[in-house]
Chains A and B, each alone.
Chain A
């Protein structure tokens, strides 16, 4: 009977939550919101489709436009452009073999060969439906996992929060570095240092302000991020004369439900991977796409077909990069740590609208996560409908030369940076930050850890000193609490496994260990 009672309570809870979710969606469906939803989604698809424009930049520029609007409408616009941009990257990948966004880079490998075979419409249909499924999977994980993370995070004290911030920097730097791993750590440390500029929180001592009153409040995150993501893209796209090329032709776009049904196991695996990678701070959709591609290829019975127009490759990458959206929102909303660069921009937008992400979010804004997830579902549906109906019109945008739309983006970056705080110093900082970010990306420094550093810097600084205050200067408190030890071990392992000598030693030990289970054979057996 007890089991029946528990089941009854669970099902009551479940149906209550479903009812609550449905009510949230009903509240959001107004003519103005629907108009903004579809407008922002199409804008997002255009941003994603055009090489050089990214989801992060789209969210950043729209943040300035939605500043004075009510919260629900603003979040509808921001999430719609985010979802649309992540999906929109597949257009250029499939039709031009040029990824519209980094998230769609893996889609180009098999998507473009499909387009060359005359199956461009089919490929777009698959990516549209796969993106919808991935986004829905991500938001379901958000609803289910967020409460558990919040419960856990409420038990964290200042000591754990300090190590959590350091973990975010370390893991982000490690996983996003394409060249030397410590370049990611260097980028993270630069971000942490930038966060130190301004009056510090505990004693209001001005650090590195050069007696400028404009810097007393520190560096505004959103304008600096606009510079860091906008200006390098403008320079990179226009620095060479390369034209985009003619997009491959395609006929109708169909939902491809049968193909999707045949690849359900790939979809669930890729979506799970996408959510997991999204939940790791600062990693983002591009890594999710490549990891999912790699896993799909390695687990395939015919890996030689990958790279020649393999359907499951396209489905896997698009599911993963869209599921990553929901995954990135999990640490963002529950811990205040963004899971991807666009989520970092969303963090800035949330703060501008007086919503402070973190463990207290449901106490300060009851029902916020449910509402946010409802908006994500609407954005996913709008993305699917727009993709199915308007793909041919959106593709025309790909014919616009970058030399015409990039200068407009430059102006939007300028006015966007100024509009948020109405401070000219934001503009003055945006340009050098953008130029430095350009050089850093050219030298293969990842920008995501820098962004994470700027965001997590205040959290790390305050919690370090607050923890020392609580412990009266005893630093052992940072090293003896259970969760602290766990985080330190993970950070330590992350760093140690990057040291070449240790990696070689581990590989040698593993080969010796594995070799003991494999009997050497000669050719006669």
Chain B
């Protein structure tokens, strides 16, 4: 990545890491036992489960702040220049101004976290033991709707929202700073981004939708067919159809399984959903095969994609299921069929012959 783009990325990452560490620090301090009894055992502070995560998150917070400030100082959030149409932009910030706005955002975020923790005394240590954290005068317990709780909460939230809004607005209006949030152009049309998005989509659908609910063989067949076609072939129409089919399969699984429709269907005819998906994939393979008849090179590439899509699960499924004895995430139509084949082979004595031969 170029240095300028890297510093802008550092700015965004830094803010994300600050938010991450503050959030989990709040959870750590609020919900982990400090001194009170846990599981029947009296606790002491030095064996409390929050010590190590707190140290780690605090160090992470410090380094994230350094990262963000460094990104700003090295030009991620550079001096705002005049906008091209000559109008004066609102929220024009100099480097110093942007640093101050960030500090204000950070301080208000930290204050908000502190208030959330201290209201209703969610943390177990007393104010006397943490003098450096709080003013003893706020040591009373408040409920959420008490004015002494609501007013600071609302005020701190407003300051945080306002400072972030100013930062974002200034970034959008300033040409150099605009790239902090919006990037240098229509990044979503960039081919590299599209390819990245497609890979992520393919994996997300495979892992979260198909693998837990569809036969492993069928899921991998659909995944590999789409993946290899999308990245190995250069025909937009073929790629589009495979993506539409793959997304349609995912949408169908998303609709049919949580609603119980798939259960009803599979109850009537076992593994019907697997068979339907398999048939859809095979049908598209056949249709596309015919369409590539005119182009020998395209057909050869398409054939290679299909071979990989079929051979890979054909090897992996029996190796993992019958060789390594790993139960597959979902064993549906094809895996059950392989079980039957194995049973028949064993009945016929073929498996015993093979094992003695080996």
Task: Show the binding face of A for B, using Cβ within 8 Å.
Answer: 65, 67-68, 179-180, 182-183, 185-186, 189-190, 192-193, 196, 200, 202-205, 207-208, 231, 234-235, 238-241, 401, 403-404, 406-408, 410-412, 414-415, 418-419, 422, 424, 427-428, 430-431, 434-435, 442-444, 460-461, 464-465, 468-469, 473
- Is B203's CB under 8 angstroms from A444's CB? no
- Is B49's CB under 8 angstroms from A189's CB? no
A360 to chain B minimum Cβ distance, whole angstroms, is: 23
Known pairs A193-B24, A407-B308, A422-B327; A442 contacts B1 (CB<8 A): yes
A46 to chain B minimum Cβ distance, whole angstroms, is: 16
- B33 nearest in chain A by CB position: A205
- Is B32's CB under 8 angstroms from A207's CB? yes
A196 contact from B53, B208, B212, Cβ within 8 A: B53
Closest 10 CB pairs of A and B: A468-B46, A403-B231, A407-B227, A403-B232, A461-B52, A205-B49, A473-B46, A189-B60, A419-B326, A196-B53
A193 contact from B38, B57, B206, Cβ within 8 A: B57
Task: Show the binding face of B for A, using Cβ within 8 Å.
Answer: 1, 6, 9-10, 13, 17, 24, 27-28, 32-33, 38-39, 41, 43-47, 49, 51-53, 56-57, 59-60, 63-64, 66-67, 70, 191-192, 195-196, 199-200, 202-204, 206-208, 211-212, 220, 223-224, 227-228, 231-232, 304-305, 308, 312-313, 316, 320, 324-327, 329
B298 to chain A minimum Cβ distance, whole angstroms, is: 14
A residues less than 8 Å from B199 (CB atoms) = 234-235, 238-239
A328 to chain B minimum Cβ distance, whole angstroms, is: 25
B residues less than 8 Å from A241 (CB atoms) = 191
B217 to chain A minimum Cβ distance, whole angstroms, is: 11
Q: List 8 A-B contacts (CB under 8 A).
A: A183-B67, A193-B56, A196-B52, A200-B49, A239-B196, A404-B232, A443-B9, A461-B52
A415 contact from B27, B204, B224, B320, Cβ within 8 A: B320
B residues less than 8 Å from A240 (CB atoms) = 192, 195
B residues less than 8 Å from A435 (CB atoms) = 200
- Is A411's CB under 8 angstroms from B203's CB? no
A residues less than 8 Å from B24 (CB atoms) = 193, 208
Q: Could you tell me the distance between the alpha carbons of A202 and B44 in the complex, rounded to whole angstroms?
A: 12
Chain B, interface SS category:
helix
- Is B52's CB under 8 angstroms from A460's CB? yes
Q: A186-B63, A422-B327 are in contact. List 7 more A-B contacts (CB 8 A).
A: A180-B10, A205-B32, A205-B38, A235-B196, A410-B223, A464-B52, A468-B46
- Is B52's CB under 8 angstroms from A424's CB? no
- Is B49's CB under 8 angstroms from A203's CB? yes
- Is B63's CB under 8 angstroms from A182's CB? yes
- Is B228's CB under 8 angstroms from A182's CB? no
Q: Could you tell me the distance between the alpha carbons of A401 and B56 in the complex, rounded to whole angstroms?
A: 43
Q: Could you tell me the distance between the alpha carbons of A374 and B343 in the complex, rounded to whole angstroms?
A: 42
- Is B326's CB under 8 angstroms from A422's CB? yes
Q: Could you tell me the distance between the alpha carbons of A460 and B224 in the complex, rounded to whole angstroms?
A: 42
B residues less than 8 Å from A411 (CB atoms) = 220, 223-224, 312-313, 316
Centre residue among A202, A207, A435 by max chain B CB count within 10 A: A207
Known pairs A190-B60, A418-B329; A424 contacts B212 (CB<8 A): yes
B325 contact from A68, A202, A208, Cβ within 8 A: A68
- Is A424's CB under 8 angstroms from B329's CB? yes
A residues less than 8 Å from B227 (CB atoms) = 407, 410
- A442 nearest in chain B by CB position: B1
A residues less than 8 Å from B207 (CB atoms) = 414, 427-428, 430-431
- Is A401's CB under 8 angstroms from B47's CB? no
- Is B63's CB under 8 angstroms from A465's CB? no
Q: Could you tell me the distance between the alpha carbons of A442 and B52 in the complex, rounded to whole angstroms?
A: 29
Q: Could you tell me the distance between the alpha carbons of A361 and B33 in the complex, rounded to whole angstroms?
A: 35
Q: Could you tell me the distance between the alpha carbons of A403 and B195 in the complex, rounded to whole angstroms?
A: 12
A142 to chain B minimum Cβ distance, whole angstroms, is: 31
B66 contact from A65, A182, A231, A461, Cβ within 8 A: A182
- Is A186's CB under 8 angstroms from B1's CB? no
A residues less than 8 Å from B38 (CB atoms) = 203, 205
- B307 nearest in chain A by CB position: A404
B183 to chain A minimum Cβ distance, whole angstroms, is: 14
Q: Could you tell me the distance between the alpha carbons of A419 and B327 in the complex, rounded to whole angstroms?
A: 8
A192 to chain B minimum Cβ distance, whole angstroms, is: 5
A residues less than 8 Å from B324 (CB atoms) = 65, 67-68, 419
B27 contact from A179, A208, A434, Cβ within 8 A: A208
Q: Could you tell me the distance between the alpha carbons of A75 and B53 in the complex, rounded to whole angstroms?
A: 35
B355 to chain A minimum Cβ distance, whole angstroms, is: 14
- Is B316's CB under 8 angstroms from A415's CB? yes
Known pairs A179-B6, A407-B224, A430-B207; A186 contacts B326 (CB<8 A): no
